[in-house]
Amino acid sequence: MGCYNSVVIDAPADQVWAKVRNFHDLSWAAGVIEQCVAVGNIPATQIGAKRVLNNAFHETLHALDDLARVVRYSIDDGPGAASKDNVQGYVGEVRVFTVTENNGSFVVWASSWDSSGGGVAEFCNPIYRALLAALKKSFA
């Protein structure tokens, strides 16, 4: 089970990666993420960093690879279908690739989970689509 969403952005991959790699800064996602609060003192680019988005999604950073341009995180608890009572083993991943044709970027936001009571993809896909649209707009 999982979600898969992607977008092409007319900006170099290094510039796009610079925006998405900071786990505690989603200022580029205004209108989707109104609040991102760091939890604890682990820096935003260090494994184990924690955040709470919109006072609802509790997430932990599990991987950050600058060479591969990938960030991997878990949703530890959230509202509705993303709650810890409904979904187990939720892992999200953002990858940024270079589009060599025009020096642009291809961004993939995907997630998977071990088991759920249902409705996770229907709940999460619109959020990921909105986040990718906000990321693209931040380069317009």
Q: What does the pLDDT read at residue 42?
A: 97
Q: Which amino acid is at 60?
A: T
Chain-centroid distance of CA 114 in Å reads 18
Assign 50 to helix, strand or coil.
strand
Neighbours of 41 (CB within 10 A): 7
Domain coordinates in residue numbering, the chain: 2-137
Q: Write the CA distances from 71 to 39, 85, 125, integer angstroms.
A: 18, 25, 18
Determine if the pTM surpasses 0.85: yes
Residue 3 contacts residue 119 (beta carbons within 8 Å) = no
User: pLDDT category, 113, cuts 50, 70, 90?
Assistant: very high
| Mean pLDDT score across all residues of the chain | 96
Q: What does the pLDDT read at residue 27?
A: 96
Q: What does the pLDDT read at residue 19?
A: 96
Does 2-137 carry CATH code 2.40.50.100? no
